[in-house]
Amino acid sequence: MKNNDQEFKTLIECWEELYPDRPTTGLSDFFDRLRELKNRMSLPAHSPGWYKDVIVYSLYVDLFNKDFSGLESKLDYLVRLGVNCLWLLPILDSPMRDAGFDIRDYRTIRADLLGLPEDAVQKDKMDVFKRFLQHAREKNIHVIFDIALNHTSDEHPWFREARKSADNPYREYYIWSRDDQRFKDARIIFKGLCASNWEKDGEEYYFHRFFEFQPDLNFRNPVVLLEMAGHLLYWLEIGVDGFRADAIPYIWKEEGTACENLPQTHTVIRFLRAVLDYARPDTLLLAEACQKPHLVVEYFGRGDECNAGYHFPLMPQIYKAVAMENGLPVKHTLSPEVTPDIPGNSQWFTFLRCHDEVSLELVYVTEEDRKFIHDHYCKKPQWDFRQGQGISARLSELMDRDPRKIGMIFSIMLTLPGTPVIYYGDEFGKTNDEAYYHEMIRLSGKDDTRFLVRGKIGWEELDRHLRDNTSMEYRVFDHVSRMVTIRRAYQCFGRGDLVWMESRLQDGALASGILSYVRSYHEEKVLVIHNLSGAGCIIAMPEGIRPDQTIDLLGHRLTKGETGHILQLDPYDYFWIDLTNRNL
């Protein structure tokens, strides 16, 4: 290696950990390409930790509004909602057998999303996407998208070559075996949908952790690591602000293990993070690690792996708290015993709903929790996912299509620590889409109930509802957009401390149905109060509320007693009270 390659010290260390028998001279050409790219980069620098201050909106481009031109036409709608970061669910070229997570080409966007014919040339495709990114940037909206690092589609050119013969050079891009007995301790993730992690192909089997048409990549082959790093750099130069790294716990496989969360997986992630940080610091690498918090924390490393990760267990525990009318599940989940501290430059991402089910896997909940949440919220047999391991239902369905409950549960997510993610349509109470569900069963051949929580937005009908202040859509959108606007004005929600507060009834008894806490950051201090119950109650006036405060930050009226010592809460009430008397 050259002496001036010390700037790539982390990359060299990772290489030596992963491939001790491979000389580091294999990195020389990659380092040269990295330097050339960095010199070409013309994008503005990111603000440090920008991902802590955004509101993320997650969408499928085609289901949201047909293609990128349609999405571009709705950027003003998103600005009106108040979101300032888009998470684009899979957009890369794919046969679409798993909603785009089966990638056929890592450097091409599906032509239908660009409004172009299938045979359109690459330059025309990139011009459409670059124009969209530019318009989003002009409206101060960041853009990240999904990339599956663990597997490809079986239609990917690498795999088409690999399956031709055992001596094909691409054979080592994947994991092959003469039988299906290897990695016996690796659980089947799609229980009920797949019978095995191995699929017969010719005389051998290939390994897959997800559907059989998604063969796993072999990161024991260093060429695979460099190829995947190159894909990230390609899109970085195009102008995306970050990546949601799909299914990263499964990247490395080792006989005699569960093939999850292995040390080498973390080394791979550290390598990729160092590549991104060199090219454009503070590019977001978001971990989709479906694990318990103490394991997800490991994907932050020492602040040198993923910048952020989803707090998966918090979501079902929020639902449990609402069902129980008791905040203890949320408090317990965010306690140090369950959720360890994370590096200062790292961040949790939180959500209420996403493109998948309400997951009740035992990595998130206990068996008792699973039964309680499933019994309470799986209101139709059709909503069941993977034999009781989840619930396929939209947020509005889970909240009984009640704008008060929807607003209240949004308030919980928007004020707890982390960066919140709004799943498209939930901001106006979109319901389960039965027609889309049946259409996708027909097209995919899979009875995957997650299709219920996807579906298209009918904009003409929605626009009509949003002009009607009596409609559910208007009421939900009004609640959510108001909260999003206020949250963005206060950094304490994305960066601040949390202190739990006890609420007492008039007789001094603990008000277990009240979830209350203070968020503070520098001079900011906001008291948040939620009534988780469908019944009203009266509590002792919380400390810090001034006698002259009658309206909270959201415009909600504080109903006090004649003496000013009590606060009345209606069913599912919530308040955000500025204790610093800051003027917006």
Answer yes or no: do 480 and 451 share one domain: yes
State mean pLDDT over 329-343. Answer: 95
Same domain, 395 and 510: no
- Terminal CA-to-CA distance of the chain, rounded, Å? 56
DSSP states of 326-341 as a string? -SHHHHHHTSTTTS--
Percentage, residues of the chain above pLDDT 90: 86
Shared domain check, 473 and 513: no
Residue 10: inside a domain: no
**Amino acid, res. 207:** F
Our count of domains for the chain comes to: 2
Which helix (H) or strand (E) covers residue 308, if one does? strand 308-310
Range of the domain at 505: 497-578
Which of 464, 489, 514 corresponds to the end of one domain? 489
> Given a cut of 80, is residue 506 above it in pLDDT?
yes
- Please tell me which residue, 563 or 13, carries the higher pLDDT value: 13
- pLDDT for residue 583: 55
Catalytic residue among 288, 357, 369, 397: 288
Predicted local distance difference test score (pLDDT) of residue 363:
79
Q: Summarize pLDDT for 356-388 with one digit per residue, the tens.
A: 899 998 878 999 999 999 999 999 999 998 778
How far apart CA 454 and CA 393 sit, in angstroms, is 10
Contacts from 432-440 at CB under 8 Å and sequence distance 24+? 432/383, 432/392, 432/393, 432/394, 432/397, 436/63
Regarding whether 395 and 473 lie in a shared domain, the answer is yes
How far is residue 250 from each of residues 246, 370, 526, measured CA to CA in Å?
10, 24, 40
- pTM of the predicted protein model: 0.95
* 299 and 250 assigned to the same domain: yes
- Average pLDDT on 522-547 reads 94
Q: What is the mean pLDDT of residues 477-483?
A: 98
pLDDT greater at residue 6 or residue 154: 154
Domain check: are 477 and 530 in the same one? Answer: no
Structure tokens at 521: 């950051």
Q: Which of 434, 457, 489 is the last residue of a domain?
A: 489
Catalytic residue status for 277? no
Q: Is 254 a catalytic residue?
A: no
Which of 199, 216, 246, 552 is an active site residue? 246
- Say if residue 471 is in the same domain as residue 543: no
